[in-house]
Structure 1
Amino acid sequence: MSGTEVTVHVNRRAADALEVATDALETSESFALHLTGHETPAHVHCRLDGDLERIASVDGSNHYVEPDAVTAVPVTVDTDAVDAPVDGRLEVLTGYGSESVSIAVTVVPGPPGVDVDERLAEPRRPDPDPTPLERILDRVSAVSGLDAGALAVLALGVVAVGIAAVTTATIGGPVATAGIAVVVAGLLVALFLLVR
């Protein structure tokens, strides 16, 4: 039940007297009717009227109100059924209907519901600590402006040129020299494509 409420004073100045604290209520949720007893006990009848009775219900229609006590009567509103303002009245009667008060009630649509992704309920796993190689790549990419992928290609290219140079020095000859030239050309083309 929400914090919204309506108060009706019963038998405050005379027997079978009803006094309402406010004659209108606008709400987007269920609310409570507080029947505040005063001088003598009373039987009070509550009912809904107008379009309000199709979306709301009163918890019990007849209530016994003790002197100097508050009887809370929940008024449940089906908020899912409200897509436009709904007007009606909450009527409170006593003295076998000889005294009555009417409270104008307007139920307005509430704020739209929020869909919550189920993944929000799962605890987030912390990111693992970066490896030393990842830290080095991050620092070099920050300084050079190249991303980690380009740096990895550059490192592999340097290793390939080193292997080609060692092979050329070991074997010798024009074929080995042509092989190192192809590896260097491939590295330059790869770097050109990554940087542009």
Structure 2
Amino acid sequence: MPPEEVTVTVSRKGPQPLDARPSKLEVLAGDRFGIAIENEGSSAHVHCRITGELGDYLSIDQSNHYVEANSDAYISLRAPDVDRELEGTLAISTGYGATTVYVGLAVTAAPEEIEVDETLGIPAGGSSGSGGGGRFVQPTTGGSAGRTRSRNRAATGEIDRTTLAVTLVGVVAIGVAVVSASVVGGSWGFLAVLAVAAAVAVAGWLAYTA
């Protein structure tokens, strides 16, 4: 892309012997721009200078140019590296100041580069290569509830097995108590059966509620 430039025409046909286009030029800090002088008539001295705030940061080394008849000249400039906007004026004159035109100049700070973390585009568990081996992790809803249900199922299975074991032991104990009561006889045997049954019931309830 060619640099931005101001085109100055000298001895142009018409009432205006000196013309400059555009009327304002804006460039980025650190970029190059230029002044293209096109002489359409007889030889002439063209004087260029920069005024205003921008003139404190940028100057033209060879401000006075002698341009042969029907020839061109070019002045190359580089905008200063600044972090804020600077404005000034390019004054172009010929005929020892008899005719002067002005072009507004503005230098704006270059936009800051934003660094992007390349890992942001890598799928979870994979890489950014073309193999496509990575996979995205699909978030799940109700994760804590699912884990709670799993623990409840595990706990329920454990309680069921414990309750079954206590029940079997209780049945055997009651059977032994009944046989013992029939052998011993009397109220003592009956009370022994009741005591064993009560103990089995309490043990089963504790096992269920644990």
Checking the alignment, whether the CA contact within 8 Å between 1:52 and 1:86 is kept in structure 2 is yes
**Counterpart in the other structure of 2:112:** 112
Task: Give the match for residue 19 of structure 1.
Answer: 19
Q: Where has structure 1 moved over 6 Å in runs of 4 or more? A: none
Structure 2 partner of 1:46: 48
Q: Deviations over 1:61-117 (max 9, x none)?
A: 1001122222001223222xx1111110011010110100100001001133689xx
The one-letter amino acid paired with 2:13 is: R
Structure 1: segments with no counterpart, 5+ residues: 116-196
Q: Residue type of the partner of 1:17?
A: P
**Matching residue within 58, 61, 68 for 1:59:** 61
TM-score, normalised to structure 1, is 0.52
Separation in 2 of the partners of 1:113 and 1:60?
35
Q: Which amino acid aligns with 1:77?
A: A
> Match of 1:180?
none
Task: Determine the C-alpha separation between the residues in 2 that align with 1:14 and 1:94.
Answer: 16
Alignment correspondent of 1:4: 4
**Residue 88 (structure 2) aligns with:** 88
Pair member with larger Rg: 2
Q: Residues of 1 paired with 2:53 and 2:32: CA distance?
A: 15
Q: How does 1:137-176 map to 2 (within 5 A)?
A: none
Alignment deviations for residues 30-61 of structure 1 (CA, whole Å, 9 cap, x no partner): 31000111011100111000011122121311
Consecutive unaligned residues in structure 2, runs of 5 or more: 116-210
Letter in 2 for 1:20: A
8 Å CA contact 1:57–1:77 kept in 2: the answer is no
Matched-pair contact (CA < 8 Å) for 1:90–1:102:
yes
Question: Percent identical across equivalent pairs?
Answer: 33
Give the counterpart letter for 1:22 in structure 2: P
Letter paired with 1:66 = E
1:72–1:38 CA distance, 2 compared to 1 (3 A) = same
SS of aligned partner of 1:57: coil
Distance 1:5 1:113 in 2: 26
Partner in structure 1 of residue 39 of structure 2: 37
User: Residue 14 and residue 95 in structure 1: after superposition, are their counterparts in 2 closer, same or farther (change >3 A)?
Assistant: farther
Normalised by the length of structure 2, the TM-score is: 0.49
1:93-104 alignment runs, 5 A limit: 93-104=93-104
Q: What is the CA–CA distance in structure 2 between the aligned matches of 1:60 and 1:102, rounded to whole Å?
A: 18
**Superposition CA RMSD, Å:** 2.4
Distance 1:88 1:107 in 2: 9
SS of 1:58's equivalent in the other structure is coil
